Chains A and B, each alone.
Chain A
């Protein structure tokens, strides 16, 4: 048995603990350690993707307990893809953070690594209760990161964020209890088997459990009407933290794909969610992009962009077919990258505008209008979904995948009209920020190369995703195909060598009374 699937959990876990012990060590040492650990995560992500391109599932039984009785980690194309994306976004955020933001509080570095650990567990686990634990790990790290730097705004937004997520955790446990009570298992593959032949009398109970769970993921994924916490939390967080949080909403989307596409996919359990997800996603997209159009400050604008891109992504998921899921995964990567680059850029712009910060009101000119203007323009093009960047490719493949669906009219209309909303929003923001200026910058606070490099890096990532779009789409196609093949997943997890051994042992024990 290879130990590869557990490495993305152990690496940030160890790094986080070591960084915690080094709280009072020199700044450069802690920065170097964190950068090395995160760079290793990127390498690991590439290795994982490389491994899953050719192979099927890799099942890792924790503590060597035979599946389905122990907790399993399951590495497949989707989870490798998510781990790599997380590592790339985290590395760019960290490069930005080490320019000085990390020193505004003591515990930025350990929290950052523990956040990565939580994300890795969430993407790799094959057990619903373990998914709950992963959510708690990443949430408690995110509470600390959100509050990093302090200030009235952050404390207030943090209080809302923490309370809504604690309620979400309670709902998660209720859902787990219901699902366990009906099926007697928490292993996702075992659950997939038992959800298929659940007794008709138990079906409503299991559906309630699945819907409660959906509610939790909808809170995480900022689905209508559960997105109100997001603009406040994301717009008050520091720029690199908000950039890292871009991946956190995607955990909600990931969990929806994993549970309702794979585990409950095709069973009677998922029927209410199939009819619910697409309309909710369409409304989410519309409200998110209306928010982009009317909001009076840049960081809030980007936060609404997060909601809008979640809407687009969940439309693709909500169509519940393989082609649209593949397009959705491509858009997921694009949406995460563009939003985190925008958060970093918004941080720089607000630093250079004196007291106006990031409010979209006429104020002093930024110190580097050329540089920031070009970056803003390029990122806006990507966010709106205009050619030549990856946003265009993502939206086109989602639209193309909707052609066979009954809801094609709604999907095309909403996606295209909201693109115009985004265009208006970004044009307005850009013209106010860069053209409606009064007077020269009073105190020139210039962005250093270290601030610009991560943004250019994220932009470069989108260029790569466009030029090698074919390869990326082939990978997401394969990932979607793997998710659609439930039997292969069940076979891989339920019949590991250890599990077969345990089954054989059970048989012999039954034969010898």
Chain B
């Protein structure tokens, strides 16, 4: 399980970084998106992986999931969503004003 999760995060980060280093705004935004997904998965994992365990001290439960990383991820998702929306708008504006989608505004 740990191995699966770790390699999945690694693969997503690799794809994200690759896209981030493209010179067009659309791949860059996709790259940023992938990177933030990987980070969110990573944050969940930072509270240790527990399957089917309650995040609260319930009677009879022997194992608990750490509730804090879940709260962190929720915050991170909200902020990431807002930022992505903003950067998409900005990229469209850049496409309009600069007449191309290169990140430097020219080829």
Residues on A lying within 8 angstroms of B by beta carbon are 129, 133, 136, 140, 143, 147, 150-152, 155-156, 158-160, 162-163, 166-167, 169-170, 173-174, 176-178, 180-181, 186
The residue in chain B whose Cβ has the minimal distance to the Cβ of A137 is B79
Name the one of A140, A155, A167, A174 contacting B42, with C-beta atoms under 8 angstroms.
Answer: A174
| Separation of A156 and B94 alpha carbons in the complex (Å) | 7
The residue in chain B whose Cβ has the minimal distance to the Cβ of A69 is B68
> What chain A residues lie within 8 Å of B75 (beta carbons)?
129, 133
Interface residues of B in 9-43 (CB under 8 A from A): 20, 25, 28, 32, 35-36, 39-40, 42-43
> What chain B residues lie within 8 Å of A169 (beta carbons)?
79-80, 83
The answer on a CB contact under 8 Å between B43 and A158 is: no
The residue in chain A whose Cβ has the minimal distance to the Cβ of B40 is A173
> What chain A residues lie within 8 Å of B35 (beta carbons)?
167, 170
The residue in chain B whose Cβ has the minimal distance to the Cβ of A129 is B72
Residue among A150, A152, A156, A159 having the largest count of chain B Cβ atoms under 10 Å: A159
Residue among A143, A160, A170, A180 having the largest count of chain B Cβ atoms under 10 Å: A170
Name the one of A140, A150, A180 contacting B68, with C-beta atoms under 8 angstroms.
Answer: A180
| Separation of A156 and B98 alpha carbons in the complex (Å) | 8
Tell me how far the C-beta of B70 lies from the nearest C-beta in chain A, rounded to whole angstroms.
12
The answer on a CB contact under 8 Å between B91 and A143 is: no
The answer on a CB contact under 8 Å between B69 and A180 is: yes
The residue in chain A whose Cβ has the minimal distance to the Cβ of B35 is A170
Q: In the complex where A176-B72, A180-B47 touch, is A156 in contact with B105 (Cβ < 8 A)? A: yes
The answer on a CB contact under 8 Å between A163 and B46 is: no
B62 sits at the interface (CB 8 A): no
Q: In the complex where A163-B103, A181-B46 touch, is A140 in contact with B39 (Cβ < 8 A)? A: no
| Separation of A150 and B79 alpha carbons in the complex (Å) | 24
> What chain B residues lie within 8 Å of A181 (beta carbons)?
45-48
Q: In the complex, given contacts A140-B86, A173-B40, what are 12 additional A-B residue pairs having Cβ atoms less than 8 angstroms apart?
A: A129-B72, A140-B82, A152-B98, A155-B90, A155-B97, A163-B103, A166-B87, A167-B20, A169-B79, A177-B39, A180-B46, A180-B69
Q: In the complex where A163-B32, A173-B43 touch, is A155 in contact with B86 (Cβ < 8 A)? A: no
30 contacts between A and B (CB under 8 A): A133-B79, A140-B82, A140-B83, A143-B86, A143-B90, A152-B97, A155-B94, A155-B98, A156-B94, A156-B105, A159-B94, A162-B86, A162-B87, A163-B103, A166-B32, A166-B83, A167-B35, A169-B80, A169-B83, A170-B35, A170-B39, A173-B40, A174-B39, A176-B72, A177-B39, A177-B42, A180-B46, A180-B72, A181-B46, A186-B68
> What chain B residues lie within 8 Å of A158 (beta carbons)?
90
> What chain B residues lie within 8 Å of A156 (beta carbons)?
94, 98, 104-105
The answer on a CB contact under 8 Å between A160 and B103 is: yes
> What chain B residues lie within 8 Å of A155 (beta carbons)?
90, 93-94, 97-98, 105
The residue in chain B whose Cβ has the minimal distance to the Cβ of A161 is B90
> What chain A residues lie within 8 Å of B20 (beta carbons)?
163, 167
B65 sits at the interface (CB 8 A): no
| Separation of A174 and B32 alpha carbons in the complex (Å) | 14
The residue in chain B whose Cβ has the minimal distance to the Cβ of A163 is B28
The residue in chain A whose Cβ has the minimal distance to the Cβ of B80 is A169
| Separation of A163 and B102 alpha carbons in the complex (Å) | 13
Tell me how far the C-beta of A139 lies from the nearest C-beta in chain B, rounded to whole angstroms.
8
> What chain A residues lie within 8 Å of B83 (beta carbons)?
136, 140, 166, 169
| Separation of A304 and B39 alpha carbons in the complex (Å) | 33
The residue in chain B whose Cβ has the minimal distance to the Cβ of A156 is B105
The answer on a CB contact under 8 Å between A173 and B39 is: yes
| Separation of A163 and B93 alpha carbons in the complex (Å) | 15
| Separation of A301 and B35 alpha carbons in the complex (Å) | 34
| Separation of A74 and B58 alpha carbons in the complex (Å) | 34
Name the one of A140, A159, A176 contacting B43, with C-beta atoms under 8 angstroms.
Answer: A176
> What chain A residues lie within 8 Å of B69 (beta carbons)?
177, 180
Residue among B36, B82, B83 having the largest count of chain A Cβ atoms under 10 Å: B83
Tell me how far the C-beta of A216 lies from the nearest C-beta in chain B, rounded to whole angstroms.
12
Name the one of A133, A150, A170 contacting B36, with C-beta atoms under 8 angstroms.
Answer: A170
The answer on a CB contact under 8 Å between A178 and B46 is: yes
Tell me how far the C-beta of A510 lies from the nearest C-beta in chain B, rounded to whole angstroms.
14
The answer on a CB contact under 8 Å between B103 and A159 is: yes
> What chain A residues lie within 8 Å of B98 (beta carbons)?
152, 155-156
The residue in chain A whose Cβ has the minimal distance to the Cβ of B16 is A170
Tell me how far the C-beta of B17 lies from the nearest C-beta in chain A, rounded to whole angstroms.
9
Residue among A143, A173, A178 having the largest count of chain B Cβ atoms under 10 Å: A173
| Separation of A461 and B65 alpha carbons in the complex (Å) | 54
Tell me how far the C-beta of B77 lies from the nearest C-beta in chain A, rounded to whole angstroms.
11
> What chain A residues lie within 8 Å of B104 (beta carbons)?
156
> What chain A residues lie within 8 Å of B28 (beta carbons)?
163
| Separation of A160 and B103 alpha carbons in the complex (Å) | 7
| Separation of A174 and B35 alpha carbons in the complex (Å) | 10
| Separation of A151 and B69 alpha carbons in the complex (Å) | 41
| Separation of A280 and B22 alpha carbons in the complex (Å) | 28
The residue in chain B whose Cβ has the minimal distance to the Cβ of A144 is B86
A-B interface, 5 closest residue pairs, ranked by CB to CB distance from nearest: A181-B46, A177-B46, A156-B105, A173-B39, A177-B43
